[in-house]
Amino acid sequence: MAVGFRRSGLRATPQRLAVMEYVAHHPVHATADQVYRAINRRDPRASRATVYNCLHALVKAGLLRQVMLDGQAARFDANIGQHHHFVCGRCGAVEDIAPMKAPGFVAPAILDGRYVADYEVILHGVCESCRAREQRRNK
C-alpha cells in the first residue's frame, strides 16, 4: 500500500495510513463520517478536518475514488479498477457491479470535441434482500 504513497509524492503520515487502511478494508463505500468515526475511535485526537484532508489528498493522488451516489454524503472507494455502482432505493445499500459487457466505449476518448477522461455508471433499483423482503410481505 505504501508504494502508492511513495509514487504519488504524498507523505505517509499515520493519519493518512489509517484513512487508507480503513477505506481499503472496511465496508465498501464508506462515507467521510464513517471514516472519521473509525479513525477517531482509535486516536481520539484525530480531527474531522484532517480526515477530509486525507481523503481528498488520497483522491487527488489517485489512491481512492470518490463517488456521489445518493446526493447526501460522498463515498470513498479503494477499488480503483473499472467498475460500476448499484444503489438500493430502499435501504441505501451500495454494491459494486462488474463492468458491463459492451460498455459502448472506453475512456479516455474524444467525444464530439470533448476529452472524456473517465465515466461512471450508477444503477438504481432494489437490492436482493429488499426484494426478498417485499416479496415475502406481498404473499
Partner DNA sequence: GTCCCTGCAAACGGTTTGCACCCGG
Partner DNA sequence: CCGGGTGCAAACCGTTTGCAGGGAC
- Identify which of residues 12 and 52 has a Cβ nearer to its own copies in the complex: 52
**What's the start-to-end Cα distance of the chain, in Å?**
49
- Does 84 interact with DNA (rule: CB under 7 A)? no
Tell me the chain's radius of gyration from C-alpha atoms.
18
Place of cell 448499484: 86
The b/e string for 48-69 (b: 16+ C-beta within 10 A; e otherwise) is eebbbebbebbeebebbbebeb
- Does 61 interact with its own copies (rule: CB under 8 A)? no
- Identify which of residues 14 and 108 has a Cβ nearer to DNA in the complex: 14
- In what helix (H) or strand (E) does residue 111 lie, and over which residues does it extend? strand 109-111
Three-state SS for 71?
A: coil
Which of 3, 71, 81, 139 lies at the binding interface for its own copies (CB under 8 A)? Answer: 71
- Does 12 interact with its own copies (rule: CB under 8 A)? no
> Which residues in this chain contact DNA in the complex, by CB under 7 A?
10-11, 13-16, 31-33, 43, 45-50, 52-54, 56-57, 71-74
List residues near its own copies by CB under 8 A.
66, 68-71, 74, 86, 88-89, 95, 97, 100-105, 107-108, 111-128, 131
